[in-house]
Chain A
Amino acid sequence: MTRLPLLSLLAVSLCAYAAAAQSTDPAKPAPGNPAGSPSDTRETVPGVPAPGQANVPDRAFLRAAALGGRAEVQFGKLAETKAASEAVQNFARRMIHDHSAANDRLSSLGAHVNVALPPDQLDPDHKAIRARLDSESGANFDKEYVNTQIADHQATAQLFEYEIGSGQDAQLKAFASDELPVIFEHLQMARALSATLAAETMASASRSPN
């Protein structure tokens, strides 16, 4: 008998969760194509994957987003001290700030879907970028950093869109939806910076005696 209230409480909260997971609010993550969910997916109610039921795209996203996010912070810290231009330093500080916050949220989501995030080190592609950044200095460093930021944010935007369309876990999809406008903002900032740096290079070339 004493268990009944507890059980009913559990039932109520499960129903509440199911209702939340089945949100009819178009601003909330949309249901995925069930054809993309593995056959052994546990469901809260039919058609709604239980919390933490990540599919293959969710896992690919989580790994790539974690690797990319950490690289952003690391490159940002490098650029904050090494960049010649103040605008580039400011951009780097913004990257450290925004990506640190996003990385924290992603770590907790990794635990939620029970997927181990990759070890905290650069993957080969970002290692290669790091090597190039280490070998440059002054205005050339600024240019290299900003150009790699453009390419990295382009790839990241596609990655986040991929998760929104192909992912299954509502929390991961919500994370991707929340962050995507910020990623585009970063991309626009980097593109503007790149144009400014190019204009400065032109101006200084025309000032030089040769």
Chain B
Amino acid sequence: MRSHSPAVSCLFGFLVCAVGAFAASLPPDGSYRPLPAAPFDEVKGDDEAQKPQVMQRQRHLLEERYDLSDRAVPNVLMSGGRKTVQGGVRVKLPSGVTWDSLAKLSPDEIRERGVLPEGFFPLPHVKQATGGQVFPNEEIDEIQRQEQRNLRRFDVDFDLPDHFTPEFPAPIFLTTHPELGDVSRGQLVTIKNFYELFVGILTPVQLEGMRLLLTPFPQEEFNQTEDRKSADQSLGVTCLDCHANFHTNGAFHQTPDVRPQAARFRLDTVSLRGLFNQQIHGSKRSLRSVEDFSQFEQRTAYFNGDQMSAQRKGVHLPNRFDQVPMMAQMQNIIDFPPAPKLDPTGHLDPMKATPQELAGEQLFMGKGRCSSCHVPETAFMDNNMHDLQLERFYRIGQTRNGLVILPDGPIKTLTLRGIKDSPPYLHDGRLLTLADTVEFFNLVLGLKLSQPEKENLVAYLLTL
């Protein structure tokens, strides 16, 4: 403890009193990224030695929470026709309760008895203390093949089994060319191939926007400094390394909007499909335009909301008057996948839908209360943020694999168009299947749905 002269202490005490401040201001690294305390080789050696344990911890957590087996919904594929959709409720129940008995309990009873299923709790990052972007292996391998750019981390790997991630590479649908269907030609769009794939389809402005979205820039874990998690000095990451083919590949990160580190919840990459209809962007940031979003991701997705760290590792500030609008224009022409059973107002066509799907739609609009936020007429969003207050069901402040479980607060309503293409679900990916989401909302909203009703809702969600 440093000592102060009595006069200084008195003055300090007076100042504290005068401004009403309190003790226990956290050290600066409560908010800012600290500089590494050890050389790169030592950190890398330790990280590599820890890695098996780190991955095993997360695997245990996932196995405790979920049935991770590969069980696809029969006869349903994602929009590109290349990947099945996982089915069934995967969240495991605590012993002594059933889904029905749980639904009969009040939030207070569930909290006091500690019976909220583990899979409904926020999902931790695979290594909470370090955090940062983690890419699925398919993305890492394909970027290595096409660009010889390394997205592999030496401290962590992607944690979810492949069958719970979106189709890769995802199909791309353009609002400017609905007649063409998927224009990806089954390829992952990169800086290497975008020009030959899209010249003649896109305008020069859109092409330049796409080039910028595919250009690597330094990022917190992928850069040239000693504070990186790639073995080699990295060229950085691109916007579409996560939003692969303008959709999502399931890459995850932590919210840049919360401190300290232990409280930063996981973020599952959101799809960019239908961005043109979206009035707010970012799960918690509520950015008001695609332009703001494109610009500010350099501060958030790239550098965790820490402009100081960005300055050191290589800041990239896209020009707001020219480059940012081009990036925005490109994103604004990404369409949802076709939903052949929906009419132009977002309702099921009774001539095309099955009785079960139609029954599901009734529930969606009525007893299920889904449409109060996911409004069919506005692309199944309401352009608002809502607080589900899940903390009614659990004791706050518990720790799960380094993540302190706190209330999430208001989170943006995400679209449900093309929802079967973008597992896992919720902003952090804590729910692996659509059946899980139905059980989750059944409990959170106190819906008391019957088993057939739950199945009808899932059947409906698959048509969107």
Asked if A and B are interacting partners, one says yes
The answer to whether A31 and B26 touch across the interface, beta carbons within 8 angstroms, is no
Q: How many Å lie between the Cα of A125 and that of B25 in the bound state?
A: 10
A26-47 interface bits toward B, Cβ cutoff 8 Å, 1 = contact, 0 = none:
1101111111111101010111
* Interface presence of A158 (CB below 8 A): yes
B86 to chain A, nearest CB (A): 23
Q: Which of A132-160 contact B (CB under 8 A)?
A: 132, 148, 151-152, 155-159
* Interface presence of B386 (CB below 8 A): no
User: Which of B40-48, B75-83, B205-213, B360-368 is found at the contact surface with chain A?
Assistant: B40-48
Q: How many Å lie between the Cα of A123 and that of B57 in the bound state?
A: 40
Q: A25-B57, A165-B402 are in contact. Are A152 and B22 (CB under 8 A)?
A: yes
Q: A31-B127, A34-B50, A57-B29 are in contact. Are A158 and B260 (CB under 8 A)?
A: yes
Q: A57-B29, A63-B1, A181-B397 are in contact. Are A35 and B260 (CB under 8 A)?
A: no
A175-195 interface bits toward B, Cβ cutoff 8 Å, 1 = contact, 0 = none:
001001111110000000000
Q: Which of B382-435 contact A (CB under 8 A)?
A: 395-402, 404
Q: B23's contact among A45, A48, A125, A165, by CB below 8 Å, is which?
A: A125
B131 nearest in chain A by CB position? A33
Q: A24-B53, A25-B57, A166-B261 are in contact. Are A123 and B23 (CB under 8 A)?
A: yes
Q: A25-B60, A155-B23 are in contact. Are A35 and B16 (CB under 8 A)?
A: no
Q: How many Å lie between the Cα of A119 and that of B3 in the bound state?
A: 11
User: Which of B30-38, B135-143, B232-240, B338-346 is found at the contact surface with chain A?
Assistant: B30-38
The answer to whether B50 and A31 touch across the interface, beta carbons within 8 angstroms, is yes
Q: A124's contact among B12, B42, B127, B260, by CB below 8 Å, is which?
A: B12
Q: Which residues of A contact B61 (CB under 8 A)?
A: 26
B321-339 interface bits toward A, Cβ cutoff 8 Å, 1 = contact, 0 = none:
0000000000000000000
Q: How many Å lie between the Cα of A128 and that of B10 in the bound state?
A: 10
* Interface presence of B262 (CB below 8 A): yes
- Most chain-A CB neighbours within 10 Å: which of B13, B24, B25, B262? B24
* Interface presence of B436 (CB below 8 A): no
Q: Which residues of A contact B58 (CB under 8 A)?
A: 26
B102-117 interface bits toward A, Cβ cutoff 8 Å, 1 = contact, 0 = none:
0000000000000000
* Interface presence of B74 (CB below 8 A): no
Q: Which residues of B contact A46 (CB under 8 A)?
A: 45-46, 49
The answer to whether A36 and B23 touch across the interface, beta carbons within 8 angstroms, is no
Interface size on B, residues (CB 8 A): 57
The answer to whether B24 and A155 touch across the interface, beta carbons within 8 angstroms, is yes
Q: B22's contact among A35, A41, A155, A185, by CB below 8 Å, is which?
A: A155
* Interface presence of A67 (CB below 8 A): yes
Q: How many Å lie between the Cα of A155 and that of B13 in the bound state?
A: 18
A22 nearest in chain B by CB position? B53
* Interface presence of B227 (CB below 8 A): yes
The answer to whether B16 and A128 touch across the interface, beta carbons within 8 angstroms, is yes
The answer to whether A60 and B27 touch across the interface, beta carbons within 8 angstroms, is yes
The answer to whether A161 and B260 touch across the interface, beta carbons within 8 angstroms, is yes
Q: How many Å lie between the Cα of A152 and that of B20 in the bound state?
A: 12
Q: How many Å lie between the Cα of A164 and that of B30 in the bound state?
A: 11
B9 nearest in chain A by CB position? A124
B54 nearest in chain A by CB position? A31
The answer to whether A24 and B57 touch across the interface, beta carbons within 8 angstroms, is yes
Q: How many Å lie between the Cα of A35 and that of B34 in the bound state?
A: 9
Q: Which residues of B contact A68 (CB under 8 A)?
A: 23-24
* Interface presence of B263 (CB below 8 A): yes
The answer to whether A162 and B30 touch across the interface, beta carbons within 8 angstroms, is yes
Q: Which residues of B contact A164 (CB under 8 A)?
A: 262, 399, 402, 404
The answer to whether A161 and B27 touch across the interface, beta carbons within 8 angstroms, is no
Q: A31-B50, A46-B46, A155-B24 are in contact. Are A166 and B29 (CB under 8 A)?
A: yes
* Interface presence of A93 (CB below 8 A): no
* Interface presence of B64 (CB below 8 A): yes
Q: A24's contact among B17, B37, B60, by CB below 8 Å, is which?
A: B60
Q: Which residues of B contact A151 (CB under 8 A)?
A: 22
Q: A22-B53, A25-B57, A34-B46 are in contact. Are A125 and B396 (CB under 8 A)?
A: no
Q: How many Å lie between the Cα of A7 and that of B383 in the bound state?
A: 67
Q: How many Å lie between the Cα of A184 and that of B263 in the bound state?
A: 14
- Most chain-A CB neighbours within 10 Å: which of B37, B57, B64, B261? B37
* Interface presence of B255 (CB below 8 A): no
The answer to whether B129 and A118 touch across the interface, beta carbons within 8 angstroms, is no
Q: Which residues of A contact B36 (CB under 8 A)?
A: 35-36
A114 to chain B, nearest CB (A): 15
* Interface presence of B200 (CB below 8 A): no
Q: Which residues of A contact B38 (CB under 8 A)?
A: 34-35, 37-39, 41
Q: How many Å lie between the Cα of A127 and that of B53 in the bound state?
A: 45
The answer to whether B23 and A37 touch across the interface, beta carbons within 8 angstroms, is no
The answer to whether A31 and B53 touch across the interface, beta carbons within 8 angstroms, is yes
The answer to whether B263 and A35 touch across the interface, beta carbons within 8 angstroms, is no
* Interface presence of A82 (CB below 8 A): no
- Most chain-A CB neighbours within 10 Å: which of B227, B400, B401? B401
Q: Which residues of A contact B397 (CB under 8 A)?
A: 157, 180-185
Q: A180's contact among B54, B261, B399, by CB below 8 Å, is which?
A: B399
Q: Which residues of B contact A119 (CB under 8 A)?
A: 1
The answer to whether A26 and B57 touch across the interface, beta carbons within 8 angstroms, is yes
The answer to whether A31 and B129 touch across the interface, beta carbons within 8 angstroms, is yes
Q: Which residues of A contact B129 (CB under 8 A)?
A: 30-33, 36, 165-166
13 extra interface residue pairs, beta carbon distance < 8 Å, beyond A155-B25, A162-B262, A180-B397? A23-B53, A24-B56, A25-B57, A26-B57, A26-B61, A30-B399, A36-B34, A57-B27, A119-B1, A131-B17, A165-B129, A165-B263, A180-B398
The 7 tightest CB contacts between A and B, nearest first, are A30-B402, A47-B49, A125-B23, A165-B262, A165-B261, A34-B46, A46-B49
Listed in ascending order, the chain B residues whose CB lies under 8 Å from chain A are: 1, 4, 9, 12-14, 16-17, 21-27, 29-30, 34, 36-39, 42-43, 45-50, 53-54, 56-58, 60-61, 64, 124, 127-130, 227, 260-263, 395-402, 404
Q: Please name 19 pairs of A and B residues whose Cβ atoms are closer than 8 Å in the assembled complex, sorted by A.
A: A26-B58, A27-B400, A31-B53, A31-B54, A33-B129, A34-B38, A34-B46, A47-B48, A57-B27, A57-B29, A71-B23, A118-B1, A124-B13, A162-B27, A162-B262, A164-B402, A165-B260, A165-B402, A166-B129
